[in-house]
Structure 1
Amino acid sequence: MPPYQPWPQPPYFAPVPPPAQPPVNGLAIAALVLGILCFLPAVGLVLGLVALAQIKKRGERGKGMAVAGTAMSGLGVVLLVLSLVTGAVSDFADGFRDAARESSENGGTFSLDKGRCFDSLGDSLEGTAYDVDEVPCSGGHDGEVFATFRMTGGTYPGDSRITEVADEKCYALQDSYVMDTWAMPDDVDVYYFTPTRESWGIGDREITCFFGSTDEGGTLKGSLRRDETTLDDDQIAYLKAANVLNAAYASAPEEEYVDDDLPGHKRWAGRVSSALADEARGLRSHDWPATADKQVAALLRDIEAARKHWALAARATDADTFYVHYVAGDKLLGHEKAIAVRKALGLETTLSDEAPGGSGTETGAEV
């Protein structure tokens, strides 16, 4: 069976009441409603532009709603009607272009940087969002942004293609934000904000990847960030070495049984053997503190012994021989030595109840 990452229980963070938020601009809401309904588009356009000016002056919320309403109303204004308007046409057009340009520069109707936390204005993290409330990560919140990236192209690629790109890249980028996978709560998953067909038309190309709770009505408490900004050099060195093995374990064949794909499992064993060699080099190349030196040395001995068995599994001529060396190599990579190192380095040491028996230092593979 392919391995999977163990997820420990989240650490406790005392809730911190969020600061009072400024009110949402009423004209921004009206502009969004008119834009969605395609009703009185000229009115929606004017309300959106006025709302943007008021929000900037008063420091109110609702900028994303105002920009979205302005964009949709602007697109709905009939060219014939615009041709009959005098004087104000150029002002409206300039205002619309400015709003669209600002939206594009900010990455979309609203933009959140990596490491920022927010509350959703809706009942869930799924569906269409026009704005969010940015809040401190120290308290409870609905989402935490861990990566952003931009798509390219002039023509809207379609919902399915955008979702495919977001799904692939966001899941790949999460490990660089949470290097310590043991510190990830069980009830957290990856979500993302993507451009809509309408926002794409005004220059929105940004995809925002964020963590959110899978529990209905659930929230996150405290930041999940575990990278160079929050970890020390010793912790980073250990996690970088261990995560090489994680990636190799995660590349197991889709076929669960070795008899069904012996060549595929042998190639997998070869990748694990190479990853163990890389992990050992990474651990040896670092100058460990005295408090962790013995624990790392003990882990290295098991890694070297396990690597030999995985190498033999990679050269096995039949399934029975593969299993003999696979089981021996996997047993040598139990959680105990990794936990000892983690404790010495001040990293998370608790595994979730759903973590499998047997591990590749950080992940498990069940026979």
Structure 2
Amino acid sequence: MPPPPGPQGPYPQGPYAPPWGQPYGAVPPRPTPVNGVAIAAFVLGVLCFVPAVGLVLGLVALGQIKRRGERGKGFAVAGSVLSSVGLALWVVTLSTGAAADFWDGVKDAARGEGTAYALEKGQCFTTPSGSLQGVTYDVDEVPCEEEHDGEVFAAVQLPGGAFPGDEEVARVADERCYALQDSYAMDRWALPVGVDVYYLTPTSQSWRAGDREITCLFGNTDERGTLTGSLRNDDRRLDPDQHAYLVAEGYLNRAMDEVPAAESVEEDFAGHRVWAGQVSEALRGEIGLLGRHDWPADAERPVADLVADLKAAQEQWGLAAKATDLDSFYAHYGQGYDLVEADTTVAAREALGLATTRPVYEEGGDGGGESPGKEV
């Protein structure tokens, strides 16, 4: 009898993790002090009676924050911008090239250029610490062909209003980023071992400066490891047959991701029966898409063999959903799981030129898991 399914954990790669896998642990970020010079710059910017001093202090604070990894960038930027407005009222002309460069620097800081706010989908970057956990204030964009710490695959805009709190922002980020990963990297089998989903989220300070964006990204669960090469694998990089297959396979992937959080079937028998029904329906959707597509001649037989196994698997998962006792559930679940893991999947993938190495799942690794996020 196969081991019982367990809690839903993160899925760093592959179509789905074994239901009995353990979630990754994560160390929550430690509080970081707010830069005092940044606060002074903000106060002087609001008062606006010595704008030159507020502007200078704001720029000094930005430099200190970058070197020390302190918080308060929002205060420093706001103080600089407010002081610059006051100074503009005092000064009629600024004629030198140095002055023009000075103002360009202020405007770049206000726009967030060179910071996490400026990251876009498809970009790769490094962080000063090399870690994707904790707090960061700036990042350096690098070509994806070079070693990097993270690759952005999606962005989520949060609604306006008051800052919802770190826990709520992290909850939304975890939910949305994991849901969006397949739209960028459709083939989970092609993700390298150790790759997981992370995110950059606003802090209460950056929220006041207008930051409302959650940045979803892929990173290495080994803090000493890096990534090389883009992980993008979508309709822009797949041929029509590969894309059709992965869209169909996505039905099963998403259903497997919904495994109940209980550590054993006994703890939530009803929940596991519902989940088995979801898997059965997902298999129905996958079978339908695979059956309707016109496959290349050399892929027709492998895909047909896969569909046969998936039909048998759908029946077993459906019986597991109707099971009235644990022994019956385990019997049908075991057969159904073996059928979706059959070698026919590898053969169909090989015929279509997709990755054929089954994903390796790690247990108890660092990164990912309950809090795979970094505040910016």
Q: Distance in 2 between matches of 1:296 and 1:205?
A: 44
Q: Distance in 2 between matches of 1:279 and 1:306?
A: 12
Identify the residue that residue 193 of structure 2 maps to in structure 1.
186
- Could you tell me which of 299, 306, 309 is aligned with 1:302? 309
Per-residue CA deviation, residues 182-225 of structure 1 (Å, 9 max, x unaligned), is 11122222222222223222212112111122223311010111
Per-residue CA deviation, residues 153-173 of structure 1 (Å, 9 max, x unaligned), is 232222222222222212221
- Structure with the larger RCO, 1 or 2 (CA within 8 Å, 6+ apart): 2
- Could you tell me which of 45, 70, 84 is aligned with 2:55? 45
Q: Distance in 1 between matches of 2:175 and 2:265?
A: 28
Identify the residue that residue 252 of structure 1 maps to in structure 2.
259
Give, in angstroms, the shift of residue 316 of structure 1. 2.1
Q: After the TM superposition, which parts of structure 1 deviate over 6 Å for at least 4 consecutive aligned residues?
A: 47-50, 106-109
Q: Does 1:103 align with 2:111?
A: yes
- Could you tell me which of 335, 343, 346 is aligned with 1:339? 346
Q: Does 1:219 align with 2:226?
A: yes
Q: Provide the TM-score with structure 1 as the length reference.
A: 0.72
Alignment check: 8 A CA contact 2:78 2:209 kept: no
RMSD: 3.8
Q: Does 1:329 align with 2:339?
A: no
Alignment check: 8 A CA contact 1:245 1:276 kept: yes
Identify the residue that residue 326 of structure 2 maps to in structure 1.
319
Q: Distance in 2 between matches of 1:258 and 1:209?
A: 32
Give, in angstroms, the shift of residue 301 of structure 1. 0.8
Q: Does 1:73 align with 2:79?
A: yes
What letter is aligned with 2:224?
Answer: G
Q: Provide the TM-score with structure 2 as the length reference.
A: 0.71
Alignment check: 8 A CA contact 2:193 2:360 kept: no
Unaligned runs of 5+ in 1: 9-31, 53-64, 357-367
Name whichever of 107-116 and 193-202 sits farther off: 107-116
What letter is aligned with 1:194?
Answer: T
Alignment check: 8 A CA contact 1:71 1:100 kept: no
Give, in angstroms, the shift of residue 37 of structure 1. 6.9
Alignment check: 8 A CA contact 1:7 1:181 kept: yes
Give, in angstroms, the shift of residue 303 of structure 1. 1.0
Alignment check: 8 A CA contact 2:41 2:57 kept: no
Q: Does 1:350 align with 2:357?
A: yes
SS of match in other structure, 2:303? helix
Structure 1 residues 219 and 71, CA, compared in 2 at 3 Å: closer, same or farther? same
What letter is aligned with 1:343?
Answer: E
Structure 1 residues 36 and 214, CA, compared in 2 at 3 Å: closer, same or farther? farther
Q: Distance in 2 between matches of 1:307 and 1:200?
A: 47
Alignment check: 8 A CA contact 2:12 2:194 kept: no
Alignment check: 8 A CA contact 1:166 1:192 kept: yes
Per-residue CA deviation, residues 327-360 of structure 1 (Å, 9 max, x unaligned), is 222222224111111111111111244489xxxx
Identify the residue that residue 23 of structure 1 maps to in structure 2.
none
Q: Distance in 2 between matches of 1:219 and 1:199?
A: 27
Q: How many residues align?
A: 310
SS of match in other structure, 2:355? coil
Give, in angstroms, the shift of residue 286 of structure 1. 0.9
1:203-218 → structure 2 map (5 Å cutoff): 203-218=210-225
Q: Distance in 1 between matches of 2:88 and 2:299?
A: 76
Q: Distance in 1 between matches of 2:138 and 2:164?
A: 23
Identify the residue that residue 143 of structure 2 maps to in structure 1.
136
Q: Does 1:196 align with 2:203?
A: yes
